[in-house]
A and B are shown apart, each in its own frame.
Chain A
Amino acid sequence: MNTNDDRPFEDSIRPDDLPGEGTVPPEDVRKDEAVPGVLPGTLPVEPGEPVLGDESGRGEGVGEAKEVEGLSQGQIVWRRFVRHKGAMAGLGVLLAIALFSFSAMGIGPIRGWWQYSDNALATHPMINNGAPTITLPTWLGGTAATLSFGDHPFGQDNIGTDNFAAVMKGVQTSLLVMLVLGLTALIVGVVVGALSGYYRGKLDTGLMRVTDLVITLPVIVLGAVLGKLLSAAPDKFGWSIETRIAVDAAMPLLLGILLGLVLWPSLARLVRAEFLGLREREFVDSARVAGASDWRIITKHILPNAVGVIIVNTTLLMSSAVVLETALSFLGFGISAPNVSLGNLISINQGAFQTRPWLFWWPGLFIILIALSVNFIGDGLRDAFDPRTKRIPSKREMDKALARIQSESATAEVGAR
C-alpha cells in the first residue's frame, strides 16, 4: 500500500470551534467512504465470490487496520504525522531556520560562525551602497558560479550595520519568544481548562468569567500594556544597573511569559470542552470506583486523552504568537534595544524602505516563513491526531486500483473456467 498522503492540509476547523453542544464533528462523505481499493457502488459483488473488501477494506487484520496492527496510539499518530508532506516541509524549514540562525550568531556568549555582530553600533564600510551582496548561482538566475554570501548578504542600513546579523538575531528572539509564550499559554490554559472542566460548578463559572474578561480586549491591546510595563519598569522603579542588565538579557523570556498570560483563553476553552466530555466516560468512573484521587484521574486518565487537542492548539497558538510579538515590537511595545527582533527591525528602518527595500524584505520574509511553517506543523498534527483522517488516494490511484482489481477478477474467472 502506498503510504504517501495526497492531502497536504486538513480543514482548519475543529469540532470544538463550532458552537452548541453535541455538534457533529466535521466529516465528509468521501473521506469515510473512500476506503482504498473499495469503490462503493461501483463493483458488482456476486454472491459466493470472495468479498473484495477483505483485501483492503474494513475489519480486523486487513487494510487500514493491518497497517496499524500492534502499534501504540503514539506510534500511529507519529506515523501519520511523518507522512504529512506539508507538516514535514514546515518542520524542515523551521529546523533549518533555527539551526542557521543559532549557528550563525551563536547562543548567548558563544559566538557563531558569522563574522559580524548584531550590535547596532558596529558599523562597517559601505559595500555597494549597502545593497545585499548575496548572489545566486547562475542556474538559479544569478551571476556567480555558486551561492555566495559576500560581506553583507542581506545588505546594510544607512549607517552601515550588517543586516544579516540583525535578522539572524531577530529570528532567534522570535523563536525564543514563540517557545516561551507557547509554554506559558500551555500551562495556564491546561490548568484553567482542566480545573473548570473537571470540577464544573462554581469554580468553572468563576474561571470562565476570567477567560471572558481576557478575550474581551484585542490581544494586541493587552500585549501593548504588558510590553509597556516591561520597558517602563526599570526607570519607573529605579532598578539598579545589575537588575537592568539582567532584565535586558531576559527580555525575550519575560515578554514571552507576559504574552502567554494573554493568549491562554482559547486553549483553556478547548481543554475545558474536552474535559467536560471525557469526565463522563466509563473509564473515569471505573478509576474513581477504584479509589483514584482527583489528581490521578486528571493527570493519568483524562489528560492523555485530551493531549491531541492540546498539542494541536498550542502549535497554532505559537504561529499567531510570532505575528503578535513582531507586531508589538513594531509598535514599540515589545522587544526594544539592545535586543533585536524582526518587528523591531522593520519598525526602525521604516523610513528607509524606498531607498533600502532589503531592510524590509528580509525580516518580513523570515516572519512569514516561521509563521507559515508552524501553521503547517499544526495542521499536520491535527491530521495526525484526528482518528477520522483517512488517506484519500488520488483519482489516478483509484482508477489504477479499480483497473487492477477488474483485471484480476477477469483472469480469476478465466482461470476458473
Chain B
Amino acid sequence: MLRFLLRRFFLALGTLLVLSVLVYFMVDLALDPLADLRQSTSPNKADLVARRVALLKLDEPWWVRYFDWLGGFVRGDLGMAWRTQQTVASQLQGAVTTSISLVLSATVLALMLGIMIGIVSALRQYTGFDYSITLVSFVLYSLPVFWVAVLLKQFMAIGMNDFLDNPTLNVPVTTVISAVFGLFWAGALGGSPRRKILVFAAATLITGGTWAFIVFSGWLDAPRLGFFGVGIIGFAFAVIITMAFAGLNNKRALYSALTTAAVGLGVYYGLQWLWFYVPADFWQIVLLLVSAIAVAMLIGWLWGGPDRGVSMRGAVIVALIIAVMTFVDRVLQVYPEYYNSSMIRGRPIATIGAQTPNLNADFWMANLDRFTHLLLPTVALVLISFAGYTRYQRGSMLEVLSQEYIRTARAKGLSERVVIVRHALRNALMPLASIIPVDLVAVIGGAVITETIFGWSGMGKLFIDSMQNSEIDPVMAYVMITGALAMTANLLADLLYAVLDPRIRVNA
C-alpha cells in the first residue's frame, strides 16, 4: 500500500514537472507582454520597451526564465504579477477557497441530483419518464455554460429580485410548473395508470398549494422553517429513508430514525438559546455536526437488533438532514435584516462577486450572503454537469441490473427494494468513482467561465485576467494548483475504488 502511494506520488510529481515545462513554453510563446507598448506613441517608447525587456528578461531564451520561475516555485515563491506589482501568493489568497467552494458545492449537488434521477430513470426504462429525462439531459448537455451563466445573470437574477420585492402568484406559470412536478412524480413513482393519475393529481395540488401558501402568507418576507417545519421535514425523511434503505418492516431501523428525529427536534430550542448567547463560528458548527452524528450512531446502536449497521446508518442520515435544516432555519432568521440592510437594499440575489463588500455581518448573515452569491453560479455549473451524471448513472445502473446475480436475487424471492438498494445500487455506484475526477477537471474548467461572468475573484478569473494582462506567473500558479488538484482527485478515486471493489488490489 505504502509502496503504491509512494510510486503514485512520485509519478504525479514527475507529471507535474513535465506539465510545467510544456505549459511554460506554450504560455511564454502565447503571451505578448510588449503588446501595449507596441501601440504606444510616447516619445520614450524605446526606453520603455528596453526597461520591460530587462524586467521580464525577455532577451534571454525561454528556458532561462523557466528555470528562474521553477527555482522560485520549489522554494515557495510563486512569483509576481508584474503589471499589478502584486505577489501571486497575495493574489491567490482567498481565490483558492472561493473557487473550491464553488466547484465543490456544484459537484456535490450535481452528483446527488444526477445519481438519484439517473437511478430512477434506469428503473423506469423505456417509459415516458425515461425518455423525457433523456431528452432533458441531452438538451442540458448541449448547453454552453457561458450562455446559461449570462442568461441567469441578465434575466433570471433580475426576475427573482423583482419577484422577491413584490411576490405575486403568476397563475399560468404556477399551473404549468405544478403540472410538470406532477408529471415528474407520476413518472418516477410509476405503477398502474390509476395510481399514476392519483400521484399526478396529488403532486400537482401539493406543489401548487405550497407555492400559493408561500406567496400569500407573506412567508417570503420573513422565510424560516421554524420548529414545525424542521419537525415535519425530519420525521418525513425518517420515514422515507427507512422505507428506502431498511424497509418499514424493520421496526428497529424505523424507531431509531424516528428517535433521532425526535432528539434533533428536542434540541431545536436549546440550539436557538445557545446561538443567542454564544456567537457561532465555523468550528462550533463542525463540533455540533460531529456530535449530532455521534448521538445518531448511539441511538442506532442502542436500538440494536441483528442488523445494527442499517439502523445506525439511517439514524445518521436523518441526523444530518435535521442538522442541515436547523442550520438553514437559523440562517433564514437573519433574512429580513439582510434584505433591509443598506448594502442589499432589497435585491438579495447577487450577480457580482463572491460576497457583498462592507456588509457588516455576523456569522449567520455572512453565510446567507455567501449563499445568495453562490446561488446563480452554482446553478449554472450544476445544470450542465448534472446531465452527464444522470446519463452515466442510468447506464451503469442498467448494466448492473442485467447481471446474473440480480436475477438470482430476484429468483430467491427478495423484495424489489432489497434487490435494488442492497444488491444493485452499491455496484452501480462504483464506476462513478472513476468519472468524478475527470468531471472535477471539467467543472474547474466551467468555473473559469462562471467566475469570469459573475465577477468572482476566484482562480479561474485570475487565470483569465492574467492571460489578458500577459502575466505568466499567476497563470503558472493556476496551472500547477489545478494540475495538483486533478492528480489528487485521481489518486483518491483509485484508492476509493480499491476500497470499494475487492477485485482491485492497489499493490499490483
Measuring CB to CB, which residues of chain A are less than 8 angstroms from any residue of chain B? 6-9, 11-13, 17-20, 24-30, 32, 209, 212-213, 215-221, 224-226, 228-229, 232-233, 235-236, 319, 323, 326-327, 330-333, 343, 346, 350, 353-354, 357, 360, 364, 367-368, 371-372, 375-376, 379, 392
- The reply to whether A218 and B30 form a contact with Cβ atoms under 8 Å apart is no
Is B211 an interface position by the 8 A CB rule?
no
Instruction: From A20, A32, A327, give the contact of B501 (CB < 8 A).
Output: A20
Q: List 11 A-B contacts (CB under 8 A).
A: A19-B431, A26-B398, A28-B125, A28-B398, A30-B126, A217-B482, A217-B486, A220-B445, A228-B31, A346-B146, A364-B151
Closest B residue to A266 by beta carbon equals B438
CA distance A218 to B99 in the complex (A): 14
Q: Is the beta-carbon distance between B26 and A213 smaller than 8 angstroms?
A: no
The minimal Cβ–Cβ distance linking B434 to chain A, given in whole angstroms, is 4
List A contacts of B150 (CB < 8 A): 346, 350, 353, 360
For A212, the chain B residues whose CB sits under 8 A away are 15
Residues of B within 8 A of A12 (CB): 391-392, 395
- Collect the chain A residues with CB atoms within 8 Å of residue B435's CB: 17
Chain A residues closer than 8 Å to B395, beta-carbon distance:
11-13, 17, 26
Residues in B with CB closer than 8 Å to A346 are 146-147, 150
Assembled-state Cα–Cα distance A367/B30 (Å): 28
Q: In the complex, which of the residues A8, A331, A364 contacts B449, with contact meaning CB atoms closer than 8 Å?
A: A331
Contacts of B151 in A (CB 8 A): 360, 364
Whether a CB of chain A sits under 8 angstroms from the CB of B321 is: no
Contacts of A330 in B (CB 8 A): 144, 146, 449
Asked if A327 and B144 sit within 8 Å, CB to CB, the answer is yes
**What chain A residues lie within 8 Å of B19 (beta carbons)?**
213, 216-217
Q: Which of B125, B402, B434 contacts A19 (CB 8 A)?
A: B434
* Residues of B with C-beta under 8 A to A332: 468
Give Cα distance in the complex from A233 to B35, angstroms.
Answer: 10
Chain A nearest CB from B36 CB (Å) reads: 11
A25 vs B145: C-alpha distance when bound (angstroms): 32
Residues of B within 8 A of A371 (CB): 142-144
B325 within 8 A of A: no
Q: What is the bound-complex CA distance between A323 and B135, given in angstroms?
A: 18
CB distance from A228 to the nearest CB of B (A): 4
Q: How far is the CB of A13 from chain B (nearest CB, A)?
A: 3
Asked if B448 lies at the interface with its beta carbon under 8 angstroms from chain A, I say yes
Does B262 make an interface contact (CB < 8 A)?
A: no
Across the interface, which residues of B come within 8 angstroms of A220, CB to CB? 445-446, 448-449
Whether the pair B448, A18 counts as a contact (CB closer than 8 A) is: no
A residues near B396, Cβ cutoff 8 Å: 13, 18, 26
Set of chain A residues within 8 Å of B468, measured between Cβ atoms: 332
B106 at the A/B interface (Cβ < 8 Å)? no
B444 close to A (CB within 8 Å)? yes
A215 touches B438 (CB 8 A): yes
CB-defined contacts of B433 to chain A, threshold 8 Å: 19
Q: Are B497 and A232 in contact (CB under 8 A)?
A: no
Q: CA–CA, A19 to B494, complex, Å?
A: 11
Q: Which residues of B contact A18 (CB under 8 A)?
A: 396, 399, 431, 434
Q: How far is the CB of A383 from chain B (nearest CB, A)?
A: 13
Tell me if A376 and B398 are in contact (CB < 8 A). no
Residue from the list A218, A232, A326 in contact with B442, Cβ < 8 A: A218
Complexed CA–CA distance, A333 and B134 (Å): 33
CA distance A30 to B122 in the complex (A): 12
Contact: A226 with B30, CB < 8 Å?
yes
B144–A25 touching, CB < 8 Å: no
CB distance from B406 to the nearest CB of A (A): 8
B452 lies within 8 A of chain A by Cβ: yes
Q: Report chain B residues within 8 Å CB of A350.
A: 150
CA distance A19 to B501 in the complex (A): 11
Q: Enumerate B400-427 residues with CB–CB distance to A below 8 Å.
A: 401-403, 407
**C-alpha spacing A327/B27, complex, angstroms:** 19
In contact, B22 and A218 (Cβ under 8 angstroms): no
In the complex, are the beta carbons of A375 and B482 less than 8 A apart?
no
Query: Which of chain B's residues have a CB closer than 8 A to the CB of A372?
Result: 138-139, 142
Query: Are the CB atoms of B445 and A221 closer together than 8 Å?
Result: yes
Which listed residue (B144, B147, B445, B497) contacts A218, Cβ 8 A? B445
Q: Is B373 an interface residue (CB 8 A)?
A: no
Contact of B35 among A232, A367, A368 (CB under 8 A): A232
B38 near A367: Cβ-Cβ < 8 Å: no
Bound-complex Cα distance A200 to B143 (A): 38
Is A364 touching B147 in the complex (CB atoms < 8 A)?
Answer: yes
CB atoms of B138 and A376 under 8 A apart: yes
Min CB gap B506→A, angstroms = 14
B123: shortest Cβ distance to chain A, in Å?
11
Q: Which residues of A contact B392 (CB under 8 A)?
A: 12-13, 17
**A229 B134 Cβ-Cβ under 8 A:** no
- The answer for the CA separation of A343 and B446 in the assembled complex, in Å, is 15
B26 touches A368 (CB 8 A): no
B88 to chain A, nearest CB (A): 17
Q: Is the CB of B131 within 8 A of A217?
A: no
Residue of A nearest to B147 (CB): A364
0/1 interface trace, chain B 28-39, chain A, CB 8 Å (1 if under): 011110110010
| Interface pair B31/A221, CB less than 8 Å apart | no
- Decide: A221 and B482 in contact? CB cutoff 8 A: yes
What 1/0 flags go to B195-224 for Cβ under 8 Å of A?
000000000000000000000000000000
CB pair A11 B138 closer than 8 Å: no
- The yes or no answer to B467 lying at the interface (CB within 8 A) is yes
B463 within 8 A of A: yes
**How far is A20 from B505 in the complex, measured between Cα atoms in Å?**
12
Q: Are A375 and B141 in contact (CB under 8 A)?
A: yes
- Fill in one digit per residue for B482-497: 1 if any A CB lies within 8 Å of its CB, else 0: 1100110000000001
Chain B residue with the shortest CB-CB distance to A18: B431
Is B31 within 8 A of A218, CB to CB?
A: no
Cα A245 to Cα B456 in complex, Å, equals 37
